[in-house]
Structures are given as structure tokens and as C-alpha cells.
Amino acid sequence: MQKKNDLYKKKYELYNSLFTENSIDGILNIGENFLGNPIFILDTSYRIIARSNLAKLDNSSIETHNGESYLLLDIVQLMQKNKCIDNIYNSDNAFFHNSDEILIFCSIRINNITVGYISVLQSKRKFNAEDLELTNVLSKVLSIQLQKENLFISNSGLDEEYYLTDLLINRIDNVEYITERLQYINFNLYENFIILSIPFKQKYKDYRHNFGLKELIKKIKTILGNCISTYYKDRIIFLISNEHKDVINDSLKQTLLEFLKLNNLRCGISMVFENLLDIQDFFYQSIYALELSSCMKIDNTINYFEDYIEYYLFNMSMGTTNDFYKINLLTLVHPWIKKLIKFDDQNKTDLFKTLKTYIENNRNANDTSIQLNIHRSTFFYRFNKIQSVLNTSLGNNYDIFKLELSLKILNYNTLTKIHNSL
């Protein structure tokens, strides 16, 4: 009888910690007093949200990157191999897990959606049966506290969203590291990426019933194919990867357009990029595509940033606030230019130089041939090769303008570097 009373008192104190502590750290430390072992709180990307006092002393299974703490990749692999994550998602209650270490796991749920989980490590004392009951209570208490602190207020219930949010918020400096992290979700990393943003603002009460948001994301993911998503800053964000430069082809674009119109939605799409280190710049490209189209009273459902580059530059020159995010100029260079430079490096050709000279000579084939000191037939061979590599016809004046603008950006960047080195 006394044992039952003691357990009841512990449960009561855990629930009461919502009022006496009113913080995740405070609640965790009360939980640690009862469980007698280190407690970790993780989100579904294996990022450590919080740790109890004992857990803060244990760094053997943790690595820190860009100020955030994560489980070691070896442990992540082991958890997946042992189906531990599946058990966390499929179970409403705490359970023991035996591997190299003995642990207790328990999901933390909001609106029946798993937003994170508790991990208790047996290191200071052996577990007993009541530890599972206490962990279940701790899970419910943390669910309430997380909602109070709005940490998961915009969660859609898709585990991948923490990966993308991490990429958008934390400026990364190691592609290999993030590539390793991304391999644990159903997302193939191909050569080409784009960011697609859809404004989707809801009132606070709507977040607690986010089934609609979750279903909307799932339907768009079905259209886009290989992508991951998150809900961030009142926007649904997608990172899409494809082996082709034309990441969103005409067929996909038409399907997406019909779906967006049907749901009265608009989207902004960044330029194609290859380096995940630049993801923040391309995220803001997708945002500015929408903002500039609205500012210019252009009522397009799909808005490509590459159609607004010059207007972005105008807008940046007129910016009067310091909170205006300035996109790296080199990320404004058209993907065609980057593709030609890469092709030249791999094949020892001069296609980029040929195109640059052609544009600088006002698209005059004869003058271009003379300046490059090549025969006209050689020029036309190269020009056709350029169109073949880019899979396009360079007869459109606006396309040429975009390429010319990119060349000016590259030239300005080179001159700035020379000036700064003097």
C-alpha cells in the first residue's frame, strides 16, 4: 500500500511541476529525481531538445554541430536497425529497450502526433517496473509544456520536417555531415535542388487541429515527388531534388498549377542550386519571388525567382531596414552559366567563354569568331553544342538578358575581389 502511495505522490509531483516549474528543464529535473537516471528529450531528427542535469554530464553518445546537439550517427543506425524508432512511433506507452545499453523510450504526442520522444539511460541505478509508469506521466506533462511554449505549434506530424527546419535555421558548414543526416529519411539527394514556398497562415486555434495542414503537405508531396517539407514562418516549405536541371518539368508544373488553383494557393520557387550550403539564400529567393510578384501586382499562381532577379536588385538598393535578408550575389547567377562552367571543367572545352564573348559582341557571330580567333563554322559548332548542353534554344531575348545579367554579376564579383585584395 505504501509503495502505491509513493508512486501516486511522484505522479502528482510530476503533474504539479507544470505549475511549480513551468519549464522543460525544471520538469526534467523533477523527473530525474524520481527515475534516478539521465533523461534526454529528442525530436524526430535525433536532435536533442533538452537534457536533465545528469544527462548534461553524459556526452559519450552526443555530437555537437552548429551549436545543436545530436545523437551520434552510429547510434542512429543502431536504433533504426533494431526497429527502435518504429516502436516509438507505434507505441503509446513507455517501453524498455535492450541493446548495448538499457534504455526507456516513450513518445511525446500532441494531437496524437509524435513530435519527439523521451530517452532514459540506465546508468546510475537499475530500472524497475514503476519507471515505465513515471515515464508515461512525464511524457504527458512534457506534451502539455511543449504546447505551452509553442515549440511544436506548427508541427505537421511529418518526422522529416525537423531536418529541413534545421537546414533553414542553422547555417551549415559541412555538406558531408548533413548528407549523412538526410540519408535516414526517404529522400534521395540528387545533383539539383530547388526550394518551393507556399504561404499558409492559420489562426492559433487551427494549429491544434492540424490534420488539414498535414494532408495538404502530403498531397503536394505526391505531386512533387522526391522532396522533404516543413511548416516554417507561416509557410509550407519544400526542398525538392532531381537529377535533371529541369527540376519541375512542364507536366509536373501543370499538375501543381491545377492543385494550387483548386486550393486558392500561390507558391514561390527558387532558382536551381547544387550546394546545400547555400540553402538559406535559395529559401529567401522563394520568399522574395512571392513578395515581389505581390508588390508588382502580378497575379501569378507559380512565381519563379529568376523572373524577378533584376527587381530584387532594385528592391535591395532601396531597402531602408537592416532586417532585409541580402541574398549572396553569386546565387543569382543563372544555372545555365554554372552548368556551362562545370561542363568546360569536365570536358576541357570553351563553351562558357564562347557564350560570354557572343553576348558581349551583341550576338554577332562574325565579331565573336574574330575575337575568339576561330572559324565561323567552329563558332556555330560551339553554339549548337551550348544549346545542346543547356537543352534549350538561345533565341529568346529575355533568356539572353538573364544570361547577360549573370555575366555582369560574375564580372562585378571578380572586380570586387581584386579591389579588396589591393
| Each residue's pLDDT tens digit, 194-210 | 999 999 876 444 444 45
User: For residue 41, with 0-12 CB atoms within 10 Å meaning exposed, 13-18 middle and 19 or more buried, which class applies?
Assistant: buried
Q: Which residue has the higher pLDDT, 83 or 407?
A: 407
Per-residue model confidence (pLDDT) at position 420: 58
Per-residue model confidence (pLDDT) at position 320: 53
DSSP 3-state of 242: strand
Which ranges of 225-334 would DSSP assign to H, the alpha helix? 250-262, 279-295, 309-317
Per-residue model confidence (pLDDT) at position 111: 66
Report the interhelical angle of 376-390 vs 351-360 (nearest 10°). Answer: 110
Lowest mean pLDDT among 19-28, 64-73, 333-342: 64-73
Per-residue model confidence (pLDDT) at position 58: 77
Residue 419, pLDDT above cutoff 60: no
Per-residue model confidence (pLDDT) at position 345: 92
Q: Which residue has the higher pLDDT, 219 or 370?
A: 370
Average pLDDT over residues 114-126: 87
Q: What percent of the chain has pLDDT over 90?
A: 32
Residue 276, pLDDT above cutoff 70: yes
pLDDT tens sequence across 361-413 = 988 999 999 999 999 999 999 999 998 888 888 877 888 888 899 999 988 88
Q: What percent of the chain has pLDDT over 70?
A: 88
- Taking CA atoms, 249 is separated from 50, 175, 225, 293, 403, in Å, by 43, 27, 12, 22, 21
User: For residue 92, with 0-12 CB atoms within 10 Å meaning exposed, 13-18 middle and 19 or more buried, which class applies?
Assistant: exposed
Residue 355 in grid coordinates: 557564350
Q: Which of 397, 402, 376, 415 is nearest to 305 (CA)?
A: 402
Name the percent of the chain in helix, strand, coil, to the closest 5: 55, 15, 30
Residue 211, pLDDT above cutoff 60: no
Average pLDDT over residues 21-29: 88
Torsion sign, CA atoms 170, 172, 175, 177: negative
pLDDT tens sequence across 131-171 = 999 999 999 999 888 877 755 544 444 556 777 887 887 66
DSSP tag of 194 = E
Q: Please name each of the domains of the chain with its CATH number.
A: 2-148 (3.30.450.40), 161-327 (3.30.70.270), 335-421 (no CATH)
Residues 6+ apart with CB under 8 A from 30: 13, 14, 17, 21
pLDDT tens sequence across 38-59 = 999 987 667 888 899 998 887 7
Per-residue model confidence (pLDDT) at position 154: 45
Torsion sign, CA atoms 362, 367, 372, 374: positive
Per-residue model confidence (pLDDT) at position 175: 72
Per-residue model confidence (pLDDT) at position 76: 75
Per-residue model confidence (pLDDT) at position 232: 84
Per-residue model confidence (pLDDT) at position 422: 44
| Average pLDDT score, the chain | 83
pLDDT tens sequence across 302-349 = 999 999 999 998 888 776 555 668 888 899 998 889 889 989 999 999
CB 31 within 8 A of CB 39: yes
Per-residue model confidence (pLDDT) at position 208: 41
